[in-house]
């Protein structure tokens, strides 16, 4: 099942709005065939795995199939995977997690009714994490929200001056480009705009065929009065959106930015600043954005956490120690004083990224 999870992640780039799924065929304790859902509309993982087994002459009647998600039992863009499993003569299925989509669920019961031995709940948390974006799309109106931060061992995303410097290694930088490639919008705070002048584009080389660069979203209570000085408000004006308060959205500066083709979205305010969920909902409903990637800074990152708008937190921890309390922290702005009041996260995945450590967190309870 662990190998099936690895395979599923390979398809994450292109499966939306479908879940990413992996499958392997096992015979006498050895993996003899593999498959994963490669893109929306393509063969599902089970059928990819069955095709791989057929191409290798594997006798599937003697095999066990491990699949991260319950096989579908309905006709969509492809036929039901349950029928493919029965046609292949597979007699034993091990599933990571049940399908939360009522339309596609029921595959295990159907297979059992046909005499197939079924087991479920193997590496269930890992397998459920694979479909956390799918669950967000099914049960909410907003995009799946990924927060990315690169920090030192002591949790600093920049030095005391705020100067733009690389914290993580080149391998982590390249990995972030893959995150940008699956995001329909990249979000930053106003300080990041003013200090870093980012372009927020995906810089994979080559870019995927037909790729469209993500929208650029800036969250700020102070709109830029000299837009020619920023890449987003000059070269990327048509792809740039500002989330700001209602007063700032009614200013002359806002009108001038709109005249450039920039979208200004007024958001309501709460005690701790802008209420961000309406902005996320707008991105999905108006622009069809399924995933967002927030790249900081620390105050925006904390706002997203506190407003329950982080579905996945990807942290690249560089093996460096700044040791200066004036360095920019990865989260900032909380008035909490005790550790017992801290926001709880859980670790979903950990892996090496060049010389860095890549840790993927999920909200506790998700």
Which of these, 252, 274, 263, 359, lies nearest to 313 by C-alpha position? 359
Using pLDDT thresholds of 50, 70 and 90, give the confidence band for residue 74: confident
Where do the DSSP E strands lie in 128-203?
144-151, 156-158, 185-189
For 183-224, write each residue's pLDDT tens digit.
Answer: 999 999 999 999 999 999 999 999 988 899 999 999 999 999
Residue 104 has pLDDT above 80, yes or no: no
Catalytic residue among 6, 34, 46, 225: 46
**46 among known catalytic residues:** yes
pLDDT of the residue at 270: 92
| Mean pLDDT value across the chain | 95
pLDDT of the residue at 287: 98
Cα dist from 268 to 183, 220, 283, 311, whole Å: 25, 13, 16, 22
Strands 215-219 and 185-189: parallel
Helix (H) or strand (E) segment spanning residue 126: helix 124-130
pLDDT of the residue at 365: 78
Between the CA atoms of 361, 188, 299 and 284, what dihedral angle is there, to the nearest 10 degrees? Answer: -60
pLDDT above 90 coverage of the chain, percent: 91
Is the CB of residue 18 less than 8 Å from the CB of residue 140? no
pLDDT of the residue at 366: 74
Q: What share of the chain is helix, strand, coil (3-state, %, to 5)?
A: 30, 25, 40
pLDDT above 70 coverage of the chain, percent: 99
Using pLDDT thresholds of 50, 70 and 90, give the confidence band for residue 273: very high
SS3 79: coil
pLDDT of the residue at 113: 96
SS (H, E, C) 18-33: CCCCEEEEEECCEEEE
Q: Residue 338 carries which DSSP code?
A: S
Strands 64-69 and 22-27: antiparallel
The answer, as to whether pTM is greater than 0.85, is yes
For 136-172, write each residue's pLDDT tens digit.
Answer: 999 999 999 999 999 999 999 999 998 889 999 999 9
| Contacts of residue 265, Cβ cutoff 8 Å, sequence gap at least 6 | 241, 242, 243, 244, 249, 279, 282
Helix (H) or strand (E) segment spanning residue 53: helix 45-55
Average pLDDT over residues 239-263: 97
Sheet harboring 215-219: ordered strands across? Answer: 263-267, 240-245, 215-219, 185-189, 291-294, 144-151, 312-317, 356-363, 345-353
Please, where are the H alpha helices in 199-276? 231-234, 246-249, 252-259
For 292-342, write each residue's pLDDT tens digit.
Answer: 999 978 999 999 999 999 999 999 999 999 999 999 999 999 999 999 999
- Angstrom distance (rounded) from CA 38 to CA 35: 9
Residue 71 has pLDDT above 90, yes or no: yes
Average pLDDT over residues 225-231: 94
pLDDT of the residue at 208: 83
SS3 104: coil
């Amino acid at each position: 099942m662990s190998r099936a999870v690895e395979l599923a992640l390979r398809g994450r780039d292109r499966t939306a709005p479908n879940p990413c799924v992996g499958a392997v065929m096992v015979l006498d304790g050895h993996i003899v065939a593999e498959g994963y859902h490669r893109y929306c509309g393509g063969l599902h993982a089970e059928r990819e795995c069955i095709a791989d087994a057929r191409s290798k002459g594997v006798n599937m009647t003697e095999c066990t199939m491990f699949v991260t998600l319950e096989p579908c039992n309905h006709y969509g863009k492809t036929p039901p995977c349950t029928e493919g499993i029965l046609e292949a003569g597979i007699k034993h299925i091990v599933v990571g997690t049940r399908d939360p989509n009522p339309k596609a669920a029921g595959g295990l019961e159907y297979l059992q009714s046909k005499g197939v031995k079924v087991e479920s709940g193997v590496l269930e948390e890992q397998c459920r994490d694979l479909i956390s974006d799918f669950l967000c799309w099914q049960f909410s109106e907003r995009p799946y929200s990924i927060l990315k931060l690169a920090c030192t061992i002591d949790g600093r995303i920049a030095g005391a001056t705020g100067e733009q410097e690389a914290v993580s290694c080149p391998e982590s930088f390249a990995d972030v480009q893959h995150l940008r490639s699956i995001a329909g919008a990249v979000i930053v705070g106003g300080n990041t705009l003013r200090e870093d002048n980012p372009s927020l584009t995906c810089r994979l080389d080559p870019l995927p065929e037909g790729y469209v660069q993500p929208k650029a979203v800036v969250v700020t209570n102070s709109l830029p009065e000299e837009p020619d000085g920023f890449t987003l408000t000059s070269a990327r004006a048509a792809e740039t959106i500002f989330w700001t308060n209602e007063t700032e959205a009614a200013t002359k500066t806002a009108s001038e930015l709109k005249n450039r083709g920039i979208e200004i979205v007024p958001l309501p305010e709460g005690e701790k600043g802008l209420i961000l969920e309406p902005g996320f909902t707008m991105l999905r409903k108006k622009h069809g954005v399924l995933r967002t990637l927030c790249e900081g800074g620390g105050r925006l990152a904390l706002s997203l956490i506190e407003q329950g708008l982080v579905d996945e937190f990807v942290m690249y921890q560089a093996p460096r120690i700044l040791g200066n309390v004036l360095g920019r922290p990865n989260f900032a702005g909380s008035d909490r004083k005790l550790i017992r009041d801290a926001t709880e996260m859980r670790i979903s995945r950990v892996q090496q990224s060049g010389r860095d450590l890549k840790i993927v967190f999920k909200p506790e309870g998700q």
